[in-house]
Chains A and B, each alone.
Chain A
């Protein structure tokens, strides 16, 4: 499979009144054509900042992207997303790369009709006149499963239910034939039965259009259902990257292992205690001088406190930022 996006050593910080927040400490990953990469991790681990860094959506200041590159394979050659000029950014964001947020209500303009918002996004990126863009909008709304799309063209966002708004967001995201769609917790605010509908819709569209998807979530159930590969984030670092089956069967980072063990098992016996990870994530005011998971890690040893671990390759396409070999039960 060929690469569509390669992110290397992304470092993003926030310079706030209370000090520097080390939000991303060198995040590297790639995305292949047509695949779904899930990014999982706890609140504050840097999932959204990763996505927003790539799309130039962070408020600057306080944010600053200090280092890194993000090479996107455009039709006429590779471009570094982090080095784009303002007009190029607009061409890419919402055009080549579509995106969907958790909260569709605040992502949509409340005083503009839904139809017009989709139409304008189309006209900004594709050379269509108003009439053709309107046609395409209605087709799109139908395509994402909005009943009576024609008559709902003139409705405002608040006249749609949560699930329907998320469908509109998907329509906007795919309106301009994107190569990549980045979805940041697109179903977290929805009920499970509606979440199931949205996941089904996303998969269908991805198959039809051959889009690559980055799907951010904290739900390991959702990940199991949608991902080809998984990136696990912890405290601003990508601590494990793995094909999805391997990650669940054979996690190679103590944090991933702990997360999976903390989930209640279907069919588990009554009264069985959940395994839990002690403590809570570090605050990000200090730059990492050692493994960020060391305080909570059952395997930690002296080397873990001396320096931050690099990324080790532990299998095909499987990487972990950990000094401890969990299979051999000894340091690597």
Chain B
């Protein structure tokens, strides 16, 4: 995507390919037992060895069913929860292992926007105060500058100065999400993790907010990690898409390649399960129906984590985990059979 007005994203020369890089990231939550003497009896492998990069100015969509580790991935990248292992880079700065004060210096560059726009806004603060809050915390601006920046931000997200004196409960869900976006933009970030930012909104409002995300990206050169479970919205907004299952990335590719020619059996099943808003198409559609539900991430299946539900599973799948690898240029897949032409395609 051309970025004539984008902020400079790199100091190193030549410009690095990725703005954000994730290498072998893991986040395991210990499972404790016992009342007096707590001991660890296992771990929830919320995120389990994932690697990818996000290019400056692009949107990487992340999809997958509930509990597959999407939010944990977002939080671990931003170091809101320290990863169990693995490395995360923003430009060439390694975030993993930075101490608090160093982390505080890079924090303004990365922000997160959540699904529940109401819970993340303090109900007792006016909208103006909410938006200025990050500037106050960073302590980098004069009061007058903060006010003019606040006005600028309101305008950017389609609100106006009259809204600044009002309180969160006076706004609709879509407007509250605009307030969240304004606050996230306060310190001029270049990377934003959007965690289901439109899931709680009605269809007619979702389109407004998605358009706003796209406009802001174009204007400000933002880079997004866009988490959602609505596949068609992810297809709409993303440049590339990652599909997660039980803490692992199953497939990652350019969005058109992923949706037109999904190579991983799980991606195929997921796309096939999404109902499309066209009655004639729906009637004649042959579906891949997966059996069962997602296993617990505390006890993920051996070998390929998808093998308990995969229609193509062979003996090797329950013994050996497939390698996550570049099967076609820029198209990454974790399935034993993805290299053979049609080898990982489910026929319906």
The interface of chain A, by Cβ under 8 A from chain B, is: 42-43, 161-164, 191-197, 199-200, 218-225, 227, 244-245, 248, 258-260, 262-264, 266, 268, 270-271, 273-278, 280-281
Q: Which residues of A contact B287 (CB under 8 A)?
A: 196, 200
A192 touches B208 (CB 8 A): no
Q: Which residues of B contact A195 (CB under 8 A)?
A: 273
Q: In the complex, A223 Cα to B276 Cα: how many Å?
A: 9
A194 touches B202 (CB 8 A): no
B277 touches A244 (CB 8 A): no
Give A240 Cβ to nearest chain B Cβ, in Å.
Answer: 15
Other-chain residue from B231, B280, B294 in contact with A245 (beta carbon distance below 8 A): B280
- Does B13 belong to the interface (CB within 8 Å)? no
Q: Which residues of B contact A270 (CB under 8 A)?
A: 239, 255-256
Given contacts A196-B290, A197-B289, A224-B275, 14 further A-B contacts (CB under 8 A): A192-B65, A221-B232, A222-B275, A225-B275, A225-B279, A227-B279, A245-B279, A259-B203, A262-B203, A262-B206, A276-B204, A276-B208, A280-B172, A280-B204
B203 touches A42 (CB 8 A): yes
Other-chain residue from B233, B235, B277 in contact with A224 (beta carbon distance below 8 A): B277
Other-chain residue from A161, A223, A258 in contact with B204 (beta carbon distance below 8 A): A258
Q: In the complex, A240 Cα to B290 Cα: how many Å?
A: 35
Q: A192-B229, A224-B276 in contact; A218/B214 too (CB < 8 A)?
A: no
B282 touches A262 (CB 8 A): no
Other-chain residue from B65, B214, B233 in contact with A191 (beta carbon distance below 8 A): B65
B202 touches A224 (CB 8 A): no
Other-chain residue from B204, B239, B275 in contact with A219 (beta carbon distance below 8 A): B275
The interface of chain B, by Cβ under 8 A from chain A, is: 65-66, 172, 174-175, 202-208, 210-211, 214, 229, 231-233, 235-236, 239, 255-256, 259, 269-270, 272-282, 287, 289-290, 293-294
A268 touches B65 (CB 8 A): no
Q: In the complex, A196 Cα to B274 Cα: how many Å?
A: 8
Classify the interface of chain B: helix, strand, loop or mixed. Answer: helix
Give B192 Cβ to nearest chain A Cβ, in Å.
Answer: 19
B275 touches A221 (CB 8 A): yes
Chain B residue with the shortest CB-CB distance to A266: B276
Q: Which residues of B contact A193 (CB under 8 A)?
A: 65, 269-270, 273, 289-290, 293
B203 touches A248 (CB 8 A): no
Q: A221-B276, A280-B172 in contact; A264/B236 too (CB < 8 A)?
A: yes
B274 touches A263 (CB 8 A): no
Q: A192-B65, A275-B207 in contact; A161/B293 too (CB < 8 A)?
A: yes
Give A49 Cβ to nearest chain B Cβ, in Å.
Answer: 17
Q: Which residues of A contact B205 (CB under 8 A)?
A: 276, 280
Q: In the complex, A260 Cα to B278 Cα: how many Å?
A: 10
Contact count A vs B, C-beta below 8 Å: 115
Q: Which residues of B contact A260 (CB under 8 A)?
A: 277
Q: In the complex, A331 Cα to B206 Cα: how many Å?
A: 30
A248 touches B207 (CB 8 A): no
Q: In the complex, A223 Cα to B66 Cα: how many Å?
A: 22
Q: Which residues of B contact A248 (CB under 8 A)?
A: 277-279
Determine which residue in B210, B273, B287 has the highest number of CB atoms from chain A within 10 A of its CB, and name it: B273
B293 touches A163 (CB 8 A): yes
A264 touches B273 (CB 8 A): no
Q: A218-B203, A245-B280 in contact; A192/B273 too (CB < 8 A)?
A: yes
Q: Which residues of B contact A164 (CB under 8 A)?
A: 293
B229 touches A191 (CB 8 A): yes
Give A145 Cβ to nearest chain B Cβ, in Å.
Answer: 10
Q: A193-B65, A193-B290 in contact; A220/B277 too (CB < 8 A)?
A: yes
Chain B residue with the shortest CB-CB distance to A187: B275
Q: Which residues of A contact B204 (CB under 8 A)?
A: 42, 258-259, 262, 276-277, 280
Chain A residue with the shortest CB-CB distance to B260: A267
Give B39 Cβ to nearest chain A Cβ, in Å.
Answer: 25
B210 touches A274 (CB 8 A): yes
Chain A residue with the shortest CB-CB distance to B218: A271
Q: A225-B275, A276-B208 in contact; A263/B203 too (CB < 8 A)?
A: yes
Q: A192-B273, A192-B274, A274-B236 in contact; A224/B282 too (CB < 8 A)?
A: yes
Q: Which residues of A contact B172 (CB under 8 A)?
A: 280
Q: In the complex, A275 Cα to B293 Cα: how many Å?
A: 35
B231 touches A192 (CB 8 A): yes
A276 touches B278 (CB 8 A): no
Q: In the complex, A320 Cα to B202 Cα: how many Å?
A: 22
B207 touches A277 (CB 8 A): yes
Give A143 Cβ to nearest chain B Cβ, in Å.
Answer: 17
Give A168 Cβ to nearest chain B Cβ, in Å.
Answer: 14
Q: Which residues of A contact B282 (CB under 8 A)?
A: 221, 224-225
Q: Which residues of B contact A199 (CB under 8 A)?
A: 275
Q: In the complex, A199 Cα to B283 Cα: how many Å?
A: 13
Q: In the complex, A218 Cα to B274 Cα: how many Å?
A: 14
Give B118 Cβ to nearest chain A Cβ, in Å.
Answer: 13
Q: In the complex, A268 Cα to B256 Cα: how many Å?
A: 10
Contacts A/B (CB < 8 Å), 19 sampled: A42-B204, A194-B293, A196-B273, A196-B290, A224-B277, A224-B278, A224-B281, A244-B279, A245-B280, A259-B203, A260-B277, A262-B207, A270-B239, A274-B236, A276-B208, A277-B204, A277-B208, A278-B208, A280-B205
Shortest Cβ-Cβ A-B pairs, 5 listed? A221-B275, A264-B236, A276-B207, A262-B207, A42-B202
Q: In the complex, A191 Cα to B231 Cα: how many Å?
A: 12
Q: Which residues of B contact A223 (CB under 8 A)?
A: 277
Chain A residue with the shortest CB-CB distance to B68: A191
Q: In the complex, A196 Cα to B231 Cα: how many Å?
A: 14
A264 touches B279 (CB 8 A): no
Other-chain residue from B174, B202, B269 in contact with A218 (beta carbon distance below 8 A): B202
Q: In the complex, A200 Cα to B207 Cα: how many Å?
A: 29
Give A55 Cβ to nearest chain B Cβ, in Å.
Answer: 25
Q: Which residues of B contact A259 (CB under 8 A)?
A: 203-204
